[in-house]
Structure 1
């Protein structure tokens, strides 16, 4: 779409994009939303699709509805295109304070192909979405009569042909709009034969005292489900109590054991210097030995740090009210822009740490950092965009939008990544190791099976996942459903709990690993910290099978494809948190003892 690509070019300018985050998803022609009696209020038809498959949406006039004589496509911003919005002028006229009674849109003879197309849409519970003066409108296009019929071949299929618009206004502004379909005005689609359909609509206006700045509260309340707000807080309190008890229990044990270790090692040093060392002090000459595949390790830390910064910035925007209901286009814009602007953090962190580990090929490390997360995301996007193109769904990005994203990556992301890498290379920081590393590594003693990497990852991921499990349903219902998540303060508290639990459980497992004289803790701490991402992906399978009605190849591939990328991002981010916490802990305990 040429118009969408032109309007999206603004995305290349970071400052303009950040300002655009404050803009609403759909702009009306009247920028101040004030109208006089008889003024045309903008009404846009957006998309249609199966109610249970939120990713599988199509253009409104892909179904054989009556298009207006002056059909126009609305220019869209980058976030709107990424959200799958394709707004066009609607066939209904809802002029300000002008009531209409049984106004005819058109009288149309539906061919057999039209009847079959509508019948398939009705069978899949197709809904439509429109925007009236920035206010979203939904409705179903028809219904299936199953009453008293056990055999699906006996079902009756009907198309709604009369829509009632009830509009509330306050002085010169539109406050609320509701849509009702008339259950008695139907077009029978059961048989494959041409039928006559006369599409009609009515418009009723009613005055209200709700102020204009409160008109979006309706969507916040219905999407957040206030009667479930207590469940949110109960889950938060439950998570906090569980986490405090478990972490307090582990902290007490860990601190007591460490205290005994310090006393024991101090006594051993005073009693006999040649006494054989045991436990984690025994491996002090190996604990700071650099990990295998240190370039990949540094790249994973850089990518995880960037994703952590991205998450923090998204939370800041959410808490200040940028992502209000049905402004989801702003979220996609924010993700693209902030990820591009934070690429310098990834470059600096990865290259700086790589040089601290005495790495020599920092350019290759920088390329690996740039591709570690973007590479799988790009491959997933290529596959899913191809699927969307085959389905002719609105999730398929226009060529112009793809060009804009590539330009953002080439002109913003890559240069900042390189600049960050150069700054990291020139930082001249040295790795701070309290103990001198021996020339040859000690042999790791045989360990029981439950001290292996996979069992430790399962133990490390379960506790953080249990802290966020209840809240995950509401997030999934928002991302992969029609609810809108608006209580970001609760979500931020859950995120803080997740970080604390991840850091603490990783530190505890690192200590037990060192106490067993296993000095290869670098990768283990990263994998254990990030294992929560694997649990979240396991929850995806449960949600798809047990908590949702999604179906079809396109929706299934979109769900599991993009959730794989999201969970991979969580793996990198939480793995970085786990390693950083473990590194601080290991440095602390080895500074506290005398190591020769």
Structure 2
């Protein structure tokens, strides 16, 4: 159902508003609320709240509630003093004036922080009717780019070189000066809903930041650009103003009002041919690996099953000779089972999250939904983690079931939480909006200890209660001696080679994911991401099975850890790529931002390691069980 626009009040749930198209009453003026979000920068990992920069603020209204995903990403949505009446244009409306005296330490600190924000190109993010207010400007090749944010200002160096947004205006020519965008021209586009009684809906909101000195308070939006000398002393005033205009647009439907933003994003102008070419190559290589494996195994199995004499069997060599050792429990079986339990939890979480994203439930319009969904799923999937870890540990002959279930519940989540907590301390110290409040931190711990841990214990109980996994062949009491291995069948070279092909199928998509995280670009190609996810699973499985077959043919039966590390080594390539991305693509400066980048990257690398390693292990487990169950073993 459509709703009258005045429902945008603090009493209405913010999450509910995101799902309902807002309809404006054209029979009377309707107030349009403008909300402000955190400010961020591509040159810093630290986002800040809107009020941290001492802009004009609205203190009488209650801020909308935020979901868990928004809090984790540092979003801080607040009401603003910018309020409009529908179809009522305004020219140069004054909002407030901020006065700073450099002789006052408090004012000087606020002014210095504002200058730091302009130097690092921090961006506003405003919201109207759950739509980002976009700054659209022309780029090369006659294309238009719509940025869901606009800068607070810019800086001209001592050499007279304009930085960032200062290049858009030739009047920004004062050396060693900060130019402040203290005026905005806002244009709101709407269309008339003919089949409904209530009138019109908003379909776009665009903004153009400007700078005015306003020498005469009675005549705002006059004078040259407003700038602040880097070494300014004394009193400095910043008047903030805005203009609003309404334009009817019959071509944009409400359901497709995000399209003009998403289509102008840099990652939609990529060469689709190169991506599809990479996918075709990966699929071709995967098919070749599968074909070689099937043909080779078919010949081996047929030859072994045709043997009638012991002499013929003694002349044979290869994977059949290690049938009495192939299911021998691995070293550090406790740790391997714990990793596999956590990896199973992550795999199911990722699959379900991407599936819901493909269905459109986790679109950019539903802010924070992606992270909220992932966290809730991880908490609820403690039972599969405990079950898998317990079943595998029991099949390895382990008896310390208490230690196993405790490590499954606390080891990997504890490492992630410890890293996250250290990063949060840094964010607290820097005063960033991304710092998780203490109450939310307690809520996360409550979800972990009160829901995830008990579910893990329940899964472990059923895992230990069931009988151990039956193997198709018996294990000899005395281990078989492993012969001297060639270079490519040794553990380390095989593990290093095993991660190349899986990484090759994701590195292009990985670039856009890192852009969405660190360059604050919207990511919405979840259908394509789900396809890459499926290809990654297939590629990890086939590459690991192929190398496992080579190792078994070389009479090396230590396949459990090797299969986990072979596909898990893809995470090492991911880490190397993230380091390359940091130094070649990002402009991040400052020690705190650098530590935060690599701290969060280590969390992603660990999760990816457990995810890919689990895929490789279970693929090899299925493969080894299958081949030793279809041949005649004496």
Q: Same fold (TM over 0.5)?
A: yes
1:505 pairs with one of 543, 563, 569: 543
**Alignment match, 1:178:** 206
2:30 pairs with one of 31, 39, 51: 39
In the alignment, does 2:149 pair up with 1:144?
no
Please list the CA deviations of residues 227-255 of structure 1 after superposition, one character each: whole Å capped at 9, or x if unmatched.
Answer: 33xx34x3443233322432343344434
Change in Cα spacing, 1:263 to 1:161, as seen in structure 2 (3 Å) is closer
Conservation of the 8 A alpha-carbon contact between 1:304 and 1:575: yes
In the alignment, does 2:103 pair up with 1:75?
no
**Alignment match, 2:600:** 562
CA apart distance, 1:316: 1.4
In the alignment, does 2:184 pair up with 1:159?
no
* CA–CA distance in structure 2, aligned partners of residues 399 and 498 of structure 1: 38
**Alignment match, 1:9:** none
Alignment of 1:155-304 (within 5 A): 155-171=176-192, 172-183=200-211, 185=213, 186-190=225-229, 191-193=231-233, 194-209=235-250, 210-223=252-265, 225-228=267-270, 231-232=271-272, 234-266=273-305, 268-270=307-309, 272=311, 275-304=314-343
Gaps of at least 5 residues in structure 2 are 1-12, 103-107, 134-148, 164-173, 193-199, 214-224
More deviation in 205-214 or 383-392? Answer: 205-214
**Alignment match, 2:81:** 91
1:483 pairs with one of 521, 524, 545: 521
In the alignment, does 2:553 pair up with 1:542?
no
Please list the CA deviations of residues 254-292 of structure 1 after superposition, one character each: whole Å capped at 9, or x if unmatched.
Answer: 344434433543455436267354221121111111111
Please list the CA deviations of residues 302-323 of structure 1 after superposition, one character each: whole Å capped at 9, or x if unmatched.
Answer: 1111111001110111011012
In the alignment, does 2:91 pair up with 1:50?
no
**Alignment match, 1:6:** none
* CA–CA distance in structure 1, aligned partners of residues 14 and 581 of structure 2: 31
1:275 is paired with a residue of what secondary structure? helix
* CA–CA distance in structure 1, aligned partners of residues 16 and 42 of structure 2: 22
**Alignment match, 1:18:** none
* CA–CA distance in structure 1, aligned partners of residues 177 and 87 of structure 2: 38
Instruction: Give the number of equivalent residue pairs.
Output: 568
**Alignment match, 1:106:** 96
* CA–CA distance in structure 2, aligned partners of residues 439 and 433 of structure 1: 15
In the alignment, does 2:380 pair up with 1:391?
no
Change in Cα spacing, 1:267 to 1:95, as seen in structure 2 (3 Å) is same
1:41 is paired with a residue of what secondary structure? strand
CA apart distance, 1:154: 4.2
1:413 is paired with a residue of what secondary structure? helix
Change in Cα spacing, 1:578 to 1:139, as seen in structure 2 (3 Å) is same
Conservation of the 8 A alpha-carbon contact between 2:345 and 2:385: yes
1:420 pairs with one of 441, 459, 478: 459
* CA–CA distance in structure 2, aligned partners of residues 583 and 235 of structure 1: 35
2:240 is paired with a residue of what secondary structure? strand
CA apart distance, 1:514: 0.8
**Alignment match, 2:54:** 64
Gaps of at least 5 residues in structure 1 are 1-22
Change in Cα spacing, 1:247 to 1:88, as seen in structure 2 (3 Å) is closer
TM-score scaled to structure 1, two decimals? 0.90
* CA–CA distance in structure 1, aligned partners of residues 316 and 474 of structure 2: 16
Structure with more of its chain in helix, by fraction: 1
